Every structure is written in C-alpha cells, then in structure tokens.
C-alpha cells in the first residue's frame, strides 16, 4: 500500500503547486507550453521501439549485454529526438504563427537527450516489481521541478519558469537513476542478437505508440490551431485535473498489471482472465466513485481554487471527467494485451480514436464552437474501448458483465450526486456552459 500513499501524496503536491503556478502565470503560457510538449511527446512516441518493455518482458532482461545494448539504443534515440525537435521548430511556428516556438522546441527538446541517458535500472525495477524506489523518485522529481517553476515564475513571470523547471528535473532524474540499482552499471554495448530481440518486441509497440500520440494529442493540436492559446491554456488546466484518475490508473497498470500478467502467461486463459478480473473489480468501483465525485463537484473545485481567468474550466472539467469512463474500462485491461505481445490491438484502438478526432473535431470546432469541440474530445475514447474490447474478446479475456455493472454504478452515483446538489439549490456542474449558448 506504500506506493498508493506516495501516489496520493504526489497528486496533492502536484495540484497545490499547479494552483500556485496558475496564479503567477497567464493562461496563454500554459497553452504555449502544452503545444511544445505535445510535439516533443509526438517525436518520442513516433520513435518508440519498445526499449523499456523489452527489458521488462525479455528473459535476457537481467543480462548486462542485453540491457546495455538497449541503453545504447536509448542514448542514440535521444540525440535523434533532439535533432527532430530542431527540424520541426520552424514549420510548427509557421503553422501556429508563433515565433516563440522556433526556440522553445529545441530548448525544451534538450530533455530528450538528457533522458536518453537514464539508467536501465528503471525498467529493471519495474520488472522486479520493486515499485517503491521508482515512485519515491518520481515524487521527489515532481516536487523539485514544481518548486523551481514556482520560484522562477514568482520573479520572472515568463515561459522560462516552465522550461528551466523541466530541464533541471529531467537532468536530476537521470543522475539519480544511475544510483537506484547498484548491480546495474550502464556502458555502451552493441549486440546483434539483443538488438534483434528488442526490435522484434518493439515492432508493434512502435506502431501502437505512434497511434497513441495521434489519438491523445490531436485535441491540443486542433485547439491550438482553431482557438486561442488562452482557451488552450484554460482547457489544459481542466484536462490536468480531469486526467488525475487516468494517470494514477495508468501508473498502477503499467507498473503492476503488466509485469504481473507477464509472470502468469503460462496459465490457461480462463485462469488468467479470472485473476485479472478479480483484481479489476475493486479498481473499477473506486474509479466509479472518483469519476462521479469529480463530475458532481468539478465546477466547485475550479471556481474555488483558481482565479477568474480560468472560470471556463469549471464547465469543461465535468464533461472531460465523464468522458474518461470508456478509457478507464480499457486501461484496466489493455496492459494484458501488451503483456501477451498483442500490441496490434492497442495500435488499432488508437488509430480508431485518432480517426474519430480527425473526422469530427475540426469541423465541429468551426461550426459549433468550443462546446461542441469539448464534447467531441471528451468522448473520443469510445472507439478506443470498442477496439480494445474486440481484442480482449479475441484473446478470451473480456468481461462485458463487469463493464456493465461498473458503468451502472458510475451512472447511478452521478444521478444521485446531481440530484442532491440540485435539490440544495446548487444547480448542476455544467451550468457555466450557458454563457456559450
């Protein structure tokens, strides 16, 4: 339970520091930084060949020749990513008509070089299910980065507060990662058999992560183009809070579920399914409660904690939170597909999500404005859920009954919470939307 306590503490610290930053910086700066991070994340995902999953899954994961070859490949990739940041900087700045992106992308992109030198002790600890060290490291880095950002934002009130905080935190994480596991000392190495295995494992991961970027970042790319940086900044604030349940769930799924399933692959599918479904039940119930509480009180959170510049986030947050549910149903199961090596299903799922966004979001933003755009974005995980469910059905791991039960619980809690606040004269959580009608 220790790692769960640390995750909760990290969430509280992140939210508190984020609140301070929003009072020191204008929404436009959050929008600008969101764009920069979107394109850097895109380069990272489009070049993901599954180095970390390879170390976690491979029988040779503890072999120095194997993990040092993986580390060498990771370093080379880091430099390649930075070159990519330099190459896209000018076209991106022209697309958004913002000259700051010309220097922001290469500068923030230095994080890709730094993180390329991260020790392979990080995936090794995941492989061994020693989550405590990684969780404490992530929490410490988060506190440090946000502290630096707040200090710089207080004195300079510029984008540099966010840039420098990111660079320093990534560097410190890289340095500390080499002290986490005394038995691991990374050196440059190149083994053809190890390379062949990494590429074999990562072949579909590359496609899946490329599709992940297109699916998950299209919202920011389109909002940055068809609306203003101010609206994008406000959306980013709402998205940051709405995304907390999903971030916690993904971390648990990545660090616990995937290694756990990887160790149980020898079991018959019916037995494996029963073990996964059993672990998933309580998780879905907790998520149903969290989603319903955030939906019913999200507007209060924004209006009480943020200043008036971010008021529009009050009606955006509940809609985004509600739209998380199909993703939560998927994330609690999709790592089983990764562990089985069936990454084609998540790749197809993310393509379906991207196609949905590409088909609907631009035209809806142009014709129906920000309300229509937010609704389209919120429910973009329905195609993802359908595709993942098909994959789980094919692999004999699906449990639709559990999905229906958890969804019914979530809907019932939302209706109950909304009815209570309406009877108390507090309206409903999306009342702020009326200003746009």
pLDDT of residue 6: 45
Statement: residue 417 has pLDDT above 90: yes
Statement: residue 289 has pLDDT above 90: yes
Distance CA 43, CA 412 (A): 41
- In this predicted model, what pLDDT tens digit does every residue of 224-252 receive, in sequence order? 889 888 899 999 889 988 988 888 787 77
Residue 129's pLDDT band (cuts 50, 70, 90): low
pLDDT of residue 160: 86
Smallest CA-to-CA distance from 318 within 435, 437, 431, 436 is with 431
Higher pLDDT, 365 or 134: 365
Distance CA 49, CA 207 (A): 9
DSSP string of 245-277, one letter each residue: HHHHHHHHIIIIIHHHHHHTTTS-HHHHHHHHH
Residue whose pair of structure tokens reads 């896209």 in the numeric block? 88
- In this predicted model, what pLDDT tens digit does every residue of 363-379 receive, in sequence order? 999 999 999 999 999 99
Q: What 3-state DSSP class applies to 160? A: helix
Mean pLDDT of 399-408: 94
Under 8 Å between Cβ of 129 and 3: no
- In this predicted model, what pLDDT tens digit does every residue of 157-208 receive, in sequence order? 888 888 888 898 889 889 988 888 888 888 998 888 888 887 776 666 767 6
Statement: residue 10 has pLDDT above 60: no
Q: Break the chain down into helix, strand, coil percent, rounded to 5.
A: 85, 0, 15
Residue 164 makes CB contacts below 8 A (sequence gap 6+) with: 148, 149, 152
- What value, to the nearest 5°, has the Cα angle with vertex 36 and ends 87 and 355? 90
Burial of 407: CB neighbours in 10 Å, binned 0-12, 13-18, 19+: middle
The listed range with the strongest mean pLDDT (54-58, 107-111, 414-418) is: 414-418
pLDDT of residue 50: 73
Distance CA 133, CA 126 (A): 10
Mean pLDDT of 287-293: 94
Residue 27 tokens, joined = 């929404």
């Amino acid at each position: 339970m220790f790692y769960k306590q640390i995750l909760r503490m990290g969430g509280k610290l992140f939210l508190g520091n984020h609140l301070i930053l929003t009072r020191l910086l204008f929404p436009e700066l959050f929008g600008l930084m969101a764009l920069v991070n979107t394109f850097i994340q895109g380069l990272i995902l489009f070049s993901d060949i599954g180095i970390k999953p390879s170390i976690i899954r491979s029988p040779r994961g503890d072999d120095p020749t194997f993990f040092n070859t993986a580390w060498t490949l990771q370093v080379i990739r880091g430099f390649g990513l930075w070159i990519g940041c330099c190459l896209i900087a000018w076209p991106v700045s022209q697309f958004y008509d913002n000259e700051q992106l010309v220097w922001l992308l290469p500068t923030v992109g230095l994080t890709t070089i730094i993180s390329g030198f991260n020790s392979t002790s990080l995936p090794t600890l995941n492989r061994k299910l020693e989550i405590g060290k990684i969780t404490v490291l992530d929490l410490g880095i988060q506190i440090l980065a946000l502290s630096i950002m707040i200090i710089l934002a207080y004195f300079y009130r510029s984008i540099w507060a966010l840039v420098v905080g990111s660079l320093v935190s990534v560097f410190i994480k890289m340095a500390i990662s080499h002290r986490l596991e005394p038995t691991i000392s990374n050196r440059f190495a190149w083994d053809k058999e190890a390379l062949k295995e990494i590429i074999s494992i990562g072949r579909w991961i590359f496609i899946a992560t490329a599709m992940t970027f297109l699916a998950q970042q299209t919202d920011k790319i389109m909002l940055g183009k068809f609306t203003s940086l101010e609206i994008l900044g406000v959306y980013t604030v709402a998205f940051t809070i709405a995304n907390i349940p999903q971030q916690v769930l993904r971390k648990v799924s990545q660090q616990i579920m995937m290694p756990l399933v990887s160790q149980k692959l020898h079991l018959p599918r019916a037995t494996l399914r029963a073990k996964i479904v059993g672990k998933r039940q309580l998780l879905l119930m907790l998520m149903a409660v969290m989603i319903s509480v955030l939906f019913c009180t999200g507007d209060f959170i924004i209006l009480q904690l943020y200043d008036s510049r971010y008021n529009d986030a009050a009606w955006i947050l509940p809609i985004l939170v509600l739209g998380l549910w199909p993703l939560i149903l998927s994330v609690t199961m999709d790592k089983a597909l990764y562990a089985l090596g069936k990454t084609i299903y998540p790749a197809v799922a993310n393509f379906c999500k991207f196609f949905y966004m590409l088909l609907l979001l631009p035209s809806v933003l142009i014709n129906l404005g920000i309300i229509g755009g937010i609704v389209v974005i919120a429910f973009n995980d329905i195609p993802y859920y359908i595709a993942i469910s098909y994959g789980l059905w094919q692999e004999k791991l699906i449990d639709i009954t559990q999905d229906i039960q958890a969804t019914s619980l979530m809907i019932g809690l939302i209706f109950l919470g909304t009815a209570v606040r309406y009877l108390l004269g507090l309206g409903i959580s999306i009342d702020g939307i009326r200003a746009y009608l």
